[in-house]
Amino acid sequence: MKTLKNTVLLSAAMTLAVPSFALAEGLYVTGQLGGNLQTSAAMPFGQNIATDADFPAEFDGGAGLQAGLGLGYAISDTLRVEARLAYQKSRFDDTQMGTGARDGEEYILNGGVASTSFTVEGFYDFDLSGSITPFVKAGLGVSSNSVTARLGGEGVAAFDAFDGEEDGYYDAYADETSTAFTWNIGTGASFDVSEKVALFGEYQFASYGDVQTGQDSFTDGFKIDNVLRHSVVIGARFNF
């Protein structure tokens, strides 16, 4: 009787363990590191310089770094789903010249946008029956974005001290943080180093939503309508 009981318990344990092992076999983790280029411009808003036709209408975005971690599951040989937590930061340090009454005056917008995003992404792997596997992907999620900006150049000399410090920059625009919807699409390829490890390269185009600084006492501030970034990362995938 005792032997029968132990056999039943062992059978039950094995029955429960099989799905767990099967699930674990599809699980994997990833790490990514790379760079990005912000293509969306920063623009003044408010009732002062934003309404001045001679002040630069926009300042170009710049480049930055990013890193991320992921936890995924391979549904089949071609389909994967992955949850990713990533940090992206892009800086801008663009110089523009005034026109009209501001002709010859130099303006430099210095600052950046930092985004911490959580996305759920779907991948389709093209099975070429080799060690190299191309893929495409798309993802949706949320992003916490913080933006900083300060204005420099010859054009700010007259009001540089208004922020309490004469350092060549007027930086009375408060840093602001906001949460927005984010989406991305991308493509890449992975290379199987072994059964458990693969290296990959990935290109991504992503939207992180709108951001803006606080406004100063003149109602001035800077905003970016929809932060857009192109990024390229390299990474590693570890299968359980």
pLDDT tens readout for residues 72-102: 999 999 999 999 999 999 998 999 999 999 9
Q: What H or E segment, with its residue span, contains residue 204?
A: strand 197-207
Above 90 in pLDDT, residue 6? no
- Structure confidence at residue 1 as a pLDDT band (50, 70, 90): very low
Rg of the chain, C-alpha, whole Å: 25
Burial of 107 (0-12, 13-18, 19+ CB in 10 A): buried
Kindly state whether residue 134 falls inside one of the protein's structural domains: yes
pLDDT single digits (tens) 179-232: 999 999 999 999 999 999 999 999 999 999 999 999 999 999 999 999 999 999
Average pLDDT over residues 18-32: 74
| Residue 111 placed within a domain | yes
pLDDT at 71 over 90: yes
Domain with residue 100: its CATH number is: 2.40.160.20
Domain annotation covers residue 227: yes
Q: Let me know: does 63 contact 37? Beta carbons within 8 Å.
A: yes
- pLDDT for res 159: 81
In a domain, 131, yes or no: yes
User: Confidence band (pLDDT; 50, 70, 90) for 4?
Assistant: very low
Residue 68 lies in a domain: yes
Range of the domain at 90: 27-239
Classify residue 1: in a domain, yes or no: no
Give residue 10's pLDDT: 37
- Residue 19 resides in a domain: no
| For residue 3, pLDDT beyond 50 | no
Quote the tokens at residue 40.
């969306």
Position 10 in a domain: no
pLDDT of residue 166: 81
Does the structure show a pLDDT above 80 at 113? yes
Q: Give the count of domains, the chain.
A: 1
Looking at residue 23, its pLDDT comes to 54
